[in-house]
Chain A
C-alpha cells in the first residue's frame, strides 16, 4: 500500500534538494532516513556534553546558488557565521602564509609568486567556468544520437572553444598531470605549493603527485563561481543547512521519517517495486530515488543477484577507498597558535609545510597505515560561532589526511596512537593545546562509513577521478541518474557531478526524473 509518488532512500543534503524539487513538481514524496536526523554528512552533532561540531563536512565552499534560491534557504533560517575566509598555511615559527581571495600575505612571499598566483588563479577560473556549466546539467551520454545530449556536448565544446587555443591546450595538458608538477611550473614558495595542492587532494586517496589532483583542484574552485571567495561557516554548523533544507522540504509537503533504515530496494523483473525497512515495514512504489552511495545502493540494497553481471562488474570496480579522517576536540579555552592573530584563528588553518610532506603523508595510506605526520585542514568554529560550546570554551573540527579504512589489526589498537600523533602535531604549532583538550573524537573512514551509511566512507561516495566523472559517474549505464533498474534513480554524491556540499547532484537528478517521468 502506498500513497507516495516517490520513495527516497536517505535524506542527505542532495536527497533533500531532490525531494524538494520533486515535491514542487507536484509529487508526494516520502524520505526514509537511517540517521536520527536528516542531512547526512551535512550535520552538527554534540560529541561531548555542551560541545557541538560539524560532524562531517565543516566548510561550505561550493553550495550552488540555484539550490540556495530554489529552496529559499535563508527564509528557512540559514545564516552564515562567516564567509570568504582566508586559508592560513601554518608555520611552526609563526611566519604564516595567508591566502585571502587572490592575495597572498606573510611568509616572505615574493612579488613573483604573488603575480604568478593572480595569473594562475585567473586561468583556473576560466577552466572552472567550463566545469560549472557541465555540472549544472546531467552528464552527456557516451554514445547515443539523442538531440538534447548532443546539445550539451556542443555546449561543452563551445565552452572549450571560447577558451581559445592556448588555454584549451593547457587545460588538456594539466588535467592529465598532477598538482605537484603544475605547482612546480608556477610557484616557488613551498607552503604556497602545498596549500594549493591540498585543495586537489582533499577527501581523495591521492597525493600531490597523483594524477587527477588537478581535476580535484578545479572541482573545488567551482565554488568561486558560486560566490565563495574562500570557505564559509554556517551558524550552528553544517547541520544548520540540513535544518533549513528540512524546513523547506516540509513547507513543500515532503514527509521525512528519520531513524528508518532501508534494508532493501525491492525490484521485480528489472522494475523497482518499493522498499523494505529494517523494521520489516514495506512501501510499494514505482519510483525510488537513492541518496545512498552507489556501491551500497546496488550491492546491499538492490542486491547483486537482482542485477546483470555487467552492472555488478561496474559497481565492484568503483574506486571508493578513502583516506580521510575527522578529528573533533573540546577545548577549555582558545588555543594560541604561534604568531597567529586572534582574527585569523577563526579562519581556515592548514598544516601542509611542503608538497613532499603531503606526499609522504599519502604514502602511508597506500599500505593501510596512517600518516606519521598528517596534513590537516582545521576549523575552530567557535571563534565565529560561540554557541557551539559553553562560554569561553571552544571546539576544533579538523579534516585529517591520511588514515586508512582499517589499519592492520583494526582501529581499536590504533585509535589512541593516531589521535596522539595528531595532537602532538598540533602542539608543535599551538604550544599548550594538549592541555586544553577536555574531550576528543576521532572518526576514521570506517567510522564515517558506519555513521553515514556510505561504503568506504569516501568524501565523494566514490573517488573523483577522470575515469569516474561526467558520463562515467558512477558508471556507464547509470550516468544520468537513472539506473539499470527501471524506476530507480540516484541523486547523491556518487553521481554527476560528485560530492561536497553542493546540491547539484540532487537538483540535476530531480530535473532528470521530472523530464523522464513527466509532470506528476
Chain B
C-alpha cells in the first residue's frame, strides 16, 4: 500500500470506501496514513457514536504480534500490568514505560491464544519491542499493514453487527474476543473501543476490508450506521476521560527536554501498575516515585460555561498550577470537560480551580477566567458499556 511517491501518505485497506464517504474531503495524517478528520459533519458523526452506530477506520493503529514460549514473560517485563491476568481471548488496557518509569505509550494487549499476543499501540514501537526481546525466546513482528481494523461503536453497534451475521455477539463480555467466519476468512471481534460506549473492534485480513465495509454498512443501515473521523472521536474520548498519547502526554522516547515525560501515576493510571511483579521496565523508578511522591496529577475538570478550555492555564489563587491538555464541550453529558496536568499537591477530587481561557473573535482576543472543579470520574459512563448480554437498541 506504499504510495507511488515515497513522500505520499499511505492509505488504509478501506481507503476506497472511506474516500467515497468522506464528503468534507478533510484529511489528516495519522502516523503516516491519510485518515479523515471528518466525513460529513463532526456533530452528526459524534451523535452517531452516542445514539446509534459510528464506524472508525483504525487500521493505522500500530499492531505488533508477539509469539513464542516466552511471550507472557516477555510482556510481563515490558508492561506495567500482570499479563498472566489477561486470560486467553481477553484484551487488557495497559501502559509501558522506560527504565525511568516514564510512559512510552498506552495501548492494548490482545491475548489471542497460547503464547500468542497482539500489542496495539499509538507510537511506532518496534525498536523498543525488539530491544526488549533480547534474552527471551519470542518472535516480535510488526503487523500494522497485515491487519485491517474498524471500530464499530455506539448503542446499536451490537444489533448492527448481529444483523451482519455475527450471531451470538451479544454474549461477548467487555474486553472479550470472539472469532467469526467472514466469507471464508477469519474475522476477529473484540469488545473494545475508544469511545466509552458499547462498541466493538473488527480485525480482518486487508483483502477482505472492502467487503467487510460494504456488508457492515448494508446490514447496519436500519440501525443508522455512519462513519466518523478523528474529530468526532476526539470529542467522545474526552467525554469519557480517555487520554491520548501525543496529546495528553508525550511518549517518553519522543521527548527531548528533561522532565517533559510522565509516569503512569502522573497520568492517573496507578491501577495499571503492579508493583508486586518482580521485574518490569520502570519498576525501580516507580517504586522510588511512590515513596518520593509524583510531580504531577492527572485531573478531569468540569469547567464552567461552554467555552472549551483548550490549552488553558489552570490557576489556584491566581498562581499557575497546571495546564489543560485536552478539552471539549461534551454534548451528551452537557459538560465542558477538560483533561489537565496539575502540579502536586493540586488535583484532589473536588478541588476548585480556575481555567484561564483565551479565545478570539475576528482577531479580538478575550480572556475568561472560568471556575472549574476536579471531578471524581468521567462524565460519560453509561451502563450499556458493560452490560452483557449487550442490549439490542
Contact = CB atoms under 8 A, between A and B. Distances in A.
A308 B131 contact: no
Contact of B128 (A270, A303, A304, A309): A309
A335 B128 CA distance: 58
Interface string B96-111: 0011100000000000
Interface stretch (A184-192, A311-319, A325-333): A311-319
Main SS class of interface, A: helix
Contacts, number: 52
B100 to A, nearest CB: 8
Given A310-B99, A313-B131, A484 B278 contact: no
A519 interface: no
B60 interface: no
Main SS class of interface, B: loop
B139 to A, nearest CB: 16
A316 B135 CA distance: 11
A305 B283 contact: no
A268 interface: yes
A131 B320 CA distance: 48
Contacts of A316: 131, 134
B135 A305 contact: yes
Interface in A296-348: 299, 303-313, 316
Contacts of B281: 308-310
A299 B279 contact: no
Contacts of B132: 309, 312
B131 A484 contact: no
Nearest to B281: A308
A305 B78 contact: no
B262 interface: no
Contacts of B128: 309
A303 B279 CA distance: 12
Contacts of A305: 70, 73, 77, 135-136, 279
Contacts of A517: none
A328 to B, nearest CB: 37
A374 B234 CA distance: 67
Nearest to B70: A305
Interface string A473-512: 0000100000010000000000000000000000000000
Interface string A255-298: 00000000000001110000000000000000000000000000
A270 B283 contact: yes
B241 interface: no
Given A305-B70, A312-B132, 7 more contacts: A268-B278, A269-B279, A304-B134, A305-B73, A305-B136, A308-B279, A309-B131
21 contacts: A269-B278, A269-B283, A270-B278, A270-B283, A270-B284, A305-B70, A305-B135, A305-B136, A307-B279, A308-B99, A308-B279, A308-B280, A308-B281, A308-B283, A309-B281, A310-B281, A312-B131, A312-B135, A316-B131, A316-B134, A484-B284
Interface of A: 268-270, 299, 303-313, 316, 477, 484
